[in-house]
Chains A and B, each alone.
Chain A
Amino acid sequence: MNQTAVQKTEPVKQKILVLFAHPVFQTSLLNKSLLAALPDESEITLHDLYECYPNFMIDVAHEQELLRNHDVIVFQHPLYWYSSPAILKEWMDLVLEHGFAYGSEATALKGKKFISVVSSGGDVQNYQGERDIRSLLKPFEMTAKLCNMDFLPPFITFAGLKIKANNFDDGVSENYLQQQVELYRQLIDDLLNNQIDSSGLSNLNIINEHYQNLGHD
């Protein structure tokens, strides 16, 4: 009885795998800023797919081993044509094999947390209505659910183009990117310490709202 109480108050750190895909990272601003905020912890593995597999020759066994060894899987990428850059799709096609990731016998990913960290060039207004960001990312959500993963709403950073152009207005302030970096740092910290629970977030469209609500409180 006493022992479990100790475990609850001091949870073991979760291991996080960041699967990062950006074909022109050298010109990136949002993702560069976000990744710079990743704490230097041994529990966090940053896996840069375009850097590892410029020939798209993905090492499936290695990738599956990485998945097995982590508790939280993060897909981090810019939004290209309402989806991910090509290599991440290739990665999903090859690595999430039947029998490993899904199927009646598959348990490898069961219960692991899944979250998308997506950056976009357009403003938040561009992703409403029929282009609602959560519904655009539905394929990732469905994938995570088919793999019996614990799906968390995505973390979105908007307005990459305006920020690059230094073209700020009421919707996008000069501090916007800095605030996003702070939220990202907090999100990673919560994931690391297992402080986040999907059941309490099911009514949220994107996880950003959760932190903004906390801020308002």
Chain B
Amino acid sequence: MTEAFVIASLFLGLAVLLVPLANRLNLGSVLGYLIAGAFVGGILTWVAPMMGMDTDHLLEQLNHATEFGVVLMLFIIGLEIQPSHLWRMKTTILSAGGLQVSLTALLIMAVAMFGFKLSWQMGMAIGLTLALSSTAIIMSTLNEKGWQNTVGGKASFSALLFQDIAVIPIIAVIPLLAVSVPEATEHTAHGIDITAHLPTWLKPLVVVGAIVVVYVLSRYLINPLFDYIARARQKEIFTTAALGLVTLIAALMSLIGLSPALGVFVAGVILSESEYRHELEADIEPFKGLLLGVFFMTVGAAFNFALFAAEFGLIVGLTLGLIVLKASVLYVVGLVLKLQRVEHALFFLALAQGGEFAFVLLTLAVGNHVIDTSIADTLRIVVALSMAITPLLFLFYEKAVLAQMNKTEEKSRQADDIDESNRVIIAGVGRFGQIVARLLQYNQFGVTAIDNNPDMIDTLRKFGWKVFYGDATRMDLLHAAGIESATAMVIAMDDADKVVDLAAYLVKHHPDLKLFVRAKDRTIAYQLKHMGIESVYRETFESSATMGEQVLRHLGMRAYQAKRSKLRYQQEDEILVKQLAASYMEEDESGHVLRVQEQLDNLAQVLSNDQHVKQYSLGNDSGWDESTLIEDLGNKPQD
């Protein structure tokens, strides 16, 4: 037990130290785990003998335990693949992913066979293994930079999706590539195969039967079971059931000599259309994250430094060769997909590395005697290195490709800055800012836009807009966009926190600049109002009030009465927001609650007031009220 605690502390402690560091350095968590693992490996070779243990054996044991992390990962990938969604994307997925995987695998196979004189089986295994890219690194980087919805980002996602699915047949194919088949492959050797004694012709039937069982289980039994558990309202039982489901399917698959990963993947795909999909994902995610993290650490711990030092030239050459080869294939695929300059660059730079699946597949291939251990060790280092270089490629994309776009823009801006005196800067030209920008453009006002979506920039430039790429909260970018000479600034980014940050910065450093700010919701509006910003626009305020107006009309109210009613409501609510903003920011939570209560009481009083109700029937306007006139009938005016 003591050893277990020591080793667990080593792994977890180093992960805690190094993974956030790797993330901060833009290296991605997978690389952080690998590096942490390498440290653990170093320490273990020193600590393990003291506890009377064999380091290699220990790591192998750990590796088996954490392979469950890979199984969980495949389950989650399955959950994310909704067949209906997949079907809609089928053309892109096939052309982006299919072409990339097959071309890359073939080229690498050719290099292995003719360059290194390896057998075709080994070449194929290596080709398929290295054709895959790192979903973990790419997707997290794309999300972090906000590029996931760009054309380049979507093309990358499609290719990754294809790769993730392709892993399943690759896992099935690799054992078949074994040159000399030993009595039993190691993959099944450490399990119990109940089909071992069955006649050969029966085996396929058993396999089909098992898949049918998985299908029936997932399709018809899971929903009622989860309904039952959900009614019990016990969160931990739900988690238990989710994990139990995965282990059950994995066990079933192992028992008949199939890959557990394949089984849970199929179950995941079937459950992806279930209403419990998100709960399942949320419950499994932490386990997957933890186990996968430790799995990568065991890979890192097995990192062969001696080999790296000995074969330094070869390994660096192979790594650069791999990146160039993959980037070239992706470049061609990008041409087929008709990607434009900026998108194209993102696509072929992003996917040019080996992926985390390579570690899984290499372990599998070694276990099945398809690839020699020494070659696998070399390739592990190559893959890890190529992953380590990926953040540098992203950095290159951002600093060279995208920054170049800004430089030319800045030049042209300075050139025609002189004749533009009514210039407005719009930060964020997505679904909100775009409308503002277009309205200004229709009226011939100069607009400079800042956005972090490269596609948007490309498109808007075609229409002659001045657009800067980047994060609008960056001072240098604001300067490049000409903040000093602008007359007004529209802050309309999607990210509410950035909106508040930018507004606060501008209020402080450019107090004379007129700000128009988008507020995601009421509390953001409170914060902005409290900064003293007059022009704050709650993003759903206008449309929801207009919808209310239309519902009133549908209920038979006169159009103009509904209109005035809406306007009055908005007016009252704006006053309320202004009053509440002060209390929200200045008082603590309970103070604010009291103030809200007070305001609600006032509102209730106003609403129950007869005069108020009468005004609503008059479209809120007592100028049209005849009742006092009628009362006054016959009275003489007083002198």
Residues of A within 8 A of B (CB): 23-27, 50-52, 54-55, 121, 160-162, 164-165, 167
Contact = CB atoms under 8 A, between A and B. Distances in A.
Contact of A165 (B560, B617, B630): B630
Q: Is the interface of A mostly helix, strand, loop or mixed?
A: helix
B636 to A, nearest CB: 14
A162 B633 CA distance: 8
A121 B559 contact: no
B558 interface: yes
B616 to A, nearest CB: 11
Interface string B541-569: 00000000000000001111111000000
B614 to A, nearest CB: 10
Interface string B472-510: 000000000000000000000000000000000000000
Given A55-B563, A165-B633, A121 B558 contact: no
Interface string B596-639: 00000000000000000000011101001010011001100000
21 contacts: A23-B619, A23-B621, A24-B561, A24-B618, A24-B624, A26-B561, A27-B618, A27-B624, A50-B558, A51-B559, A52-B559, A54-B562, A121-B626, A161-B626, A161-B630, A161-B633, A162-B633, A164-B626, A164-B630, A165-B630, A167-B630
Contacts of A162: 633
A23 B560 contact: yes
Given A50-B558, A50-B559, A26 B617 contact: yes
A18 B558 CA distance: 18
B551 to A, nearest CB: 14
Contacts of A167: 630, 633-634
A26 B621 CA distance: 13
A54 B624 contact: no
A165 B626 CA distance: 10
Contacts of B630: 161, 164-165, 167
A109 B561 CA distance: 32
B629 A51 contact: no
Interface residues of B, number: 17
Contact of B619 (A24, A52, A121, A161): A24
Nearest to A160: B626
Nearest to B619: A24
A16 B558 CA distance: 24
Nearest to B631: A165
A11 to B, nearest CB: 37
Contacts of B560: 23, 50-51, 54
Contacts of B563: 54-55
Contact of A23 (B562, B624, B629, B634): B624
Contact of B559 (A24, A54, A160): A54
B108 to A, nearest CB: 64
A162 B634 CA distance: 10
A51 B561 CA distance: 9
Nearest to B560: A50
A27 B563 CA distance: 16
A160 B560 CA distance: 22
A121 B632 CA distance: 13
Most B CB within 10 A of own CB, among A24, A51, A162: A24
Interface in B556-585: 557-563
Greatest chain A CB density within 10 A among B562, B621, B633 is at: B633
Contacts of A161: 626, 629-630, 633
Contacts of A27: 617-618, 624, 626
Given A27-B624, A51-B560, A165-B630, 8 more contacts: A26-B557, A27-B618, A27-B626, A51-B559, A54-B562, A161-B633, A167-B630, A167-B633
A162 B631 CA distance: 10
Contacts of A55: 563
Please give me the 5 A-B residue pairs with the lowest Cβ-Cβ distance, nearest first: A54-B563, A54-B559, A50-B560, A165-B630, A24-B624
Contact of A121 (B562, B618, B621, B629): B629
A184 B630 CA distance: 25
